[in-house]
């Protein structure tokens, strides 16, 4: 009987000890969870304040189109804010190297962040028109035959000012950037830089293309140019920060600089129309169409991905994960 009592006491003691340990860890987890929730809440508030929109929430719009587009922009901004907070990106140090990517029109209080391979040429044409560099789109297109649009905007790029932060200098501007599906952008960069075109018989980056082919050789291959898979393999193993394929989050710092209008390439005509009405731009300024070329590029994405190792696709999507998250794009590998 005594042995039974002692055994029961030991059992009760063991159960009590286990319960105390479980209660301790539950308490620790609860505190950690509260801290994480508080930290996320704080970060969300920081992001809301930093990424404020200069489009008034209570603004009365003069048409159904403007109401609909304003709601789209609000939704895109909310996706951006939530994910910037989720990944604690609003407290990171902002590099001044963003200055030359920002192109402004002081008359219309408008600022654009230049992202290569996302309608950047057409966006710069709009900025040149707003800055009255030329009178109309025809003059600009004629000028573009002898001079690069990318060079013509240089006088309108934001200059470095040690007396004020970049946030202070941009906060009162209506700001915009244009994004597209990250994989679609990589296909566009690959075809534009590593394959010949109807305008150029030799690829623009022929030397780098040969280097990539040597780094990732394919057996029994007689190809003259790197494959899309070889290009992605190169991106995964290099620190190449070429602006034609550098991530949006590194180019325009969307978690530190507010963007009132986030344009998507597949809705760029409506988005740009909203933007130009928002700033009361003259009627002779419009965003050039990119329709047919853009649709063809979308079709080619699937063609390239069908010939690419799924593991490489998954890894490249992981590398550009923040671009997918911040701007609400779906991954192919999911």
Q: For residue 39, name the pLDDT band (cuts at 50, 70, 90).
A: low
Residue 13 falls within a domain, yes or no?
no
The DSSP line for 153-203 is TGGGBPPP-TTS-HHHHHTTSEEEEEE--HHHHHHHHHHHHHS--SS-SS-
Residue 41 scores a pLDDT above 70: no
Contacts with 63 (C-beta within 8 Å, 6 or more apart), sequence order: none
The burial of 265, by beta-carbon neighbours within 10 Å (0-12 exposed, 13-18 middle, 19 or more buried), is given as buried
Residue 268 falls within a domain, yes or no?
yes
Residue 48 falls within a domain, yes or no?
no
52-64 residue pLDDT tens: 888 877 778 889 9
Domain coverage including residue 214: 64-327
Confidence (pTM)? 0.84
Residue 37 scores a pLDDT above 50: no
Q: For residue 262, name the pLDDT band (cuts at 50, 70, 90).
A: very high
Residue 8 falls within a domain, yes or no?
no
Residue 36 falls within a domain, yes or no?
no
Q: Which pair of tokens denotes residue 243?
A: 């602006």
85-143 residue pLDDT tens: 999 998 877 766 677 899 999 999 999 999 999 999 999 999 999 999 988 888 887 77
pLDDT on residue 136: 86
174-232 residue pLDDT tens: 999 999 999 999 999 999 999 998 777 889 999 999 999 999 998 767 789 999 999 99
Contacts with 322 (C-beta within 8 Å, 6 or more apart), sequence order: 83, 87, 89, 247, 248, 249
Residue 147 CA to residue 125 CA, distance in Å, equals 12
Residue 167 scores a pLDDT above 50: yes
Tell me the C-alpha to C-alpha distance, in Å, between residue 225 and each of 43, 62, 237.
Answer: 46, 52, 19
Mean per-residue pLDDT of the chain: 85
Q: Domain count of the chain?
A: 1
Residue 320 falls within a domain, yes or no?
yes
What percent of the chain is modeled with pLDDT above 90? 56
The burial of 253, by beta-carbon neighbours within 10 Å (0-12 exposed, 13-18 middle, 19 or more buried), is given as buried
Residue 313 falls within a domain, yes or no?
yes
Alpha-helical segments (H) within 201-281: 206-215, 228-237, 248-251, 268-278
Residue 190 falls within a domain, yes or no?
yes
């Amino acid at each position: 009987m005594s042995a039974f009592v002692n055994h029961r006491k030991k059992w009760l003691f063991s159960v009590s000890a286990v319960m105390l340990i479980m209660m301790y860890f539950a308490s620790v987890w609860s505190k950690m969870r509260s801290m994480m929730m508080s930290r996320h809440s704080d970060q969300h508030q920081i992001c809301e304040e930093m990424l404020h929109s200069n489009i008034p929430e209570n603004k009365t719009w003069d048409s159904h189109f403007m109401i609909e587009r304003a709601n789209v922009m609000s939704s895109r901004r909310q996706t951006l804010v939530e994910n910037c907070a989720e990944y604690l990106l609003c407290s990171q140090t902002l590099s001044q190297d963003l200055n030359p990517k920002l192109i402004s029109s002081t008359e219309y209080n408008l600022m654009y962040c230049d992202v290569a391979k996302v309608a950047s040429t057409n966006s710069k044409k709009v900025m040149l028109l707003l800055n009255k560099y030329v009178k109309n789109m025809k003059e600009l297109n004629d000028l573009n035959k002898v001079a690069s649009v990318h060079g013509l905007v240089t006088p309108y790029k934001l200059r470095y000012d040690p007396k004020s932060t970049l946030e202070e200098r941009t906060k009162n501007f209506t700001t915009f950037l244009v994004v597209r599906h990250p994989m679609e952008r990589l296909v566009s960069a690959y075809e534009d830089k590593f394959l010949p075109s109807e305008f150029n018989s030799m690829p623009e980056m022929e030397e780098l293309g040969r280097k990539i082919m040597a780094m990732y050789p394919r057996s029994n291959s007689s190809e003259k140019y790197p494959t899309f898979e070889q290009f992605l393999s190169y991106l995964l193993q290099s620190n190449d920060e070429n602006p034609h394929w550098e991530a949006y989050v590194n180019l325009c710092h969307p978690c530190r600089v507010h963007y009132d209008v986030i344009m998507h390439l597949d809705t760029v005509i409506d988005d740009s129309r909203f933007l130009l009405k928002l700033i009361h731009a003259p009627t002779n300024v419009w965003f050039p169409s990119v329709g047919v070329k853009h649709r063809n590029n979308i079709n080619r994405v699937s063609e390239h991905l069908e010939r690419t190792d799924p593991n490489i696709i998954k890894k490249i999507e992981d590398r550009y994960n923040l671009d997918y998250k911040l701007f609400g794009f779906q991954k192919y590998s999911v």
